[in-house]
Amino acid sequence: MSVIETRCVGKCYGSTWAVRECTLAIPDGHVAALVGPNGAGKTTLLNLAVGLAAPTAGTVTVLGGKPAGSPAALDGIAFVAQDTPLYENLSVTDMLHLTRNLNRRFDQGYAEARLGELGIPFERKTGELSGGQQAQLALTLALARRPRLLVLDEPMAMLDPLARHDFMATVMAAVADDGVSVVLSSHVLAELERVADYLILLSRGRVQVAGEVDELLARHRVLTGPAAEASRYDERLNVVFTQSGGAQAHLLTRMNGSTDPVPPGWQAHPVGLEELTLAYLREPDASALPGPTRAGDTEPSEVTR
């Protein structure tokens, strides 16, 4: 089952395409990170998934084929929007009551226990809470709905490092306890490395990289060797990104098989998620897509430059 599946989705605002020909299937049971530069279409894609925006072209389904925004879809998805909008003049208690009234399920006990642990005062107006507390409240309200999919749009952008850590701890606890699937967009690559096990990299409204993190990391490596020889391997080695510092060059390469040979005089290193992501962000024309999301492609598509 895919928690979010898009087929040739396009969304345009006026004459600008925010997302274009976007085909994607995020399998369930993952913490999927949606990464991309500003204006890549991350927020638009998430808005499409939660039904806040309707696609200009193509279809978006969620939770195994439910149309995005349909009652069944809304019932199973909890969304925390960017900057965690809450009714500022309502107290925490009122926000709980409000959310309970607007949903079929609401785990009041969970919400109260969670907010109690965090030391968030129930009688205080949400507008008077700190940024970290507001984010935690929004997350708690979302999780108390017992969703099957939690969608978070830039949840950590406004938070200090400690609040980020606490926020992600709450998310990961829900993943462990309830098996909730998570899709989050973020700029904070270092945080993602710890939590994400699925990566979607968006660039200019298109999917550039999609796949399980372990698999992506296993299929990429960094080759370090003499800079003078670097250009020689460009064609043969599926080089995603070349970084030359003095005499040494670092090539991020994508392997066709696990037994790809290392050229003589070069050393291979495993790659980290942050390094991999940055390399693709710097090379928007390179792509690494898994087979199933592309019709007719059984093999992973070649890295192109």
Partner 1 sequence: MSALTMPTRSEPEANLRPVPWRNMAWVTWRQHRLTLAGVLALFGAAAMYLLISGLPMHHAYATVAACRPITSGICRQVAVNFLGNYAPGVGYVVGLLHVIPALIGAFAGAPVLAREFETGTFRYTWTQGFGRARWTIAKLTLLAVAVTAAAAAFSVLFTWYYQPLIGAGDDNGPLSPAIFDLRGIAVVAWTLAAFAIGVLAGTLIRRVIPAMFATIAVWAGLAFATGAYLRAHYLAPLLTTNPNVRSPAWVISQWWTRGGKPVTLDTINKTLGAVDVRAITLGVFQPGPATPANFGDPVRYLIAHGYLQLTRYQPTSRYWPFQGIESGWLFALSVLLLGTTVWLVSRRAT
The contact set with partner 1 (CB under 8 A) reads 1, 27-30, 44, 47, 50-54, 71-72, 74-75, 77-79, 81-83, 85-88, 90, 94, 97-99, 101-105, 138, 145, 148, 175, 178-179, 181
- Both tokens assigned to 239: 């080089």
* Beta carbon of residue 13, minimum distance to partner 1 (angstroms, whole number): 8
Are 166 and 16 in contact, with CB atoms under 8 Å apart?
no
* Beta carbon of residue 151, minimum distance to partner 1 (angstroms, whole number): 8
* Beta carbon of residue 230, minimum distance to partner 1 (angstroms, whole number): 37
At 195, is the secondary structure helix, strand, or coil? Answer: helix
* Beta carbon of residue 68, minimum distance to partner 1 (angstroms, whole number): 11
Of 13 and 269, which CB lies nearer to partner 1 in the complex structure?
13
* Beta carbon of residue 154, minimum distance to partner 1 (angstroms, whole number): 12
Of 123 and 235, which CB lies nearer to partner 1 in the complex structure?
123
CA–CA distance, 194 with 171 (Å, rounded to integer): 12
Of 97 and 305, which CB lies nearer to partner 1 in the complex structure?
97
Of 115 and 251, which CB lies nearer to partner 1 in the complex structure?
115
At 163, phi and psi to the nearest 5?
A: -65, -35
Of 151 and 239, which CB lies nearer to partner 1 in the complex structure?
151
Of 8 and 54, which CB lies nearer to partner 1 in the complex structure?
54
Measuring CA to CA, which residue among 14, 71, 75, 74 is closest to residue 44? 14
Cβ-proximal residues to 82 (8 Å cutoff; 6+ apart), any chain: 43, 153, 154, 157
Cβ-proximal residues to 169 (8 Å cutoff; 6+ apart), any chain: none
Of 65 and 121, which CB lies nearer to partner 1 in the complex structure?
65
Are 48 and 6 in contact, with CB atoms under 8 Å apart?
yes
* Beta carbon of residue 24, minimum distance to partner 1 (angstroms, whole number): 15
Q: Which amino acid is at 165?
A: H
Of 148 and 206, which CB lies nearer to partner 1 in the complex structure?
148
Q: How many residues are there in the chain?
A: 305
CA–CA distance, 261 with 264 (Å, rounded to integer): 9
* Beta carbon of residue 219, minimum distance to partner 1 (angstroms, whole number): 17
Quickly list DSSP for 136-167: HHHHHHHHHT--SEEEEESTTTT--HHHHHHH
* Beta carbon of residue 45, minimum distance to partner 1 (angstroms, whole number): 12
Distances 164 to 23, 66, 136, 161 between C-alpha atoms, Å: 30, 32, 10, 5
Are 200 and 210 in contact, with CB atoms under 8 Å apart?
yes
Are 156 and 125 in contact, with CB atoms under 8 Å apart?
no
